[in-house]
């Protein structure tokens, strides 16, 4: 990760990004263009097929970032980042 990255990352998130080879640009893309769900006390941003298709219509190719999910604390800090194409776990709790 570059030191100029302005994302509010926890040490855990940095380690997960490094271990999973997820660049900061991918996290920024998910935060900017992904869907948002509040669940289990965290805000989760996810970049799925629909968001990728919408971005592609605007000339932005986010296909390499499809399936990324970014978990943020209520204060905005990025807690962890992972790739999961199954968005069923993002359903809102009743």
Distance (Å, rounded) from C-alpha 50 to C-alpha 45?
A: 13
> Is 72 within 8 Å of 78 (Cβ atoms)?
yes
What are the residue ranges in the chain where pLDDT is below 50? 1-4, 93-94
Whole-number pLDDT of residue 88: 72
Whole-number pLDDT of residue 91: 62
Q: From 89, 87, 78, select the one nearest 27 (Cα to Cα).
A: 78
Any long-range contacts for 17-21 (C-beta under 8 Å, 24+ apart)? 17/81, 20/81, 20/82, 20/83
> Is 34 within 8 Å of 65 (Cβ atoms)?
no
């Amino acid at each position: 990760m570059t030191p100029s990255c302005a994302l509010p990352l926890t040490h855990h998130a940095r380690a997960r990004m490094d271990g999973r080879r997820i660049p900061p640009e991918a996290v920024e893309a998910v935060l900017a263009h992904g869907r948002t769900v509040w669940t289990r006390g965290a805000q989760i941003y996810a970049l799925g097929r629909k968001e990728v298709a919408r971005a592609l219509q605007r000339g932005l190719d986010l296909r390499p970032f499809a399936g990324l999910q970014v978990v943020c604390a209520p204060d905005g800090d990025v807690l962890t980042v992972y790739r999961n194409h199954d968005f069923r776990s993002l359903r809102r709790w009743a």
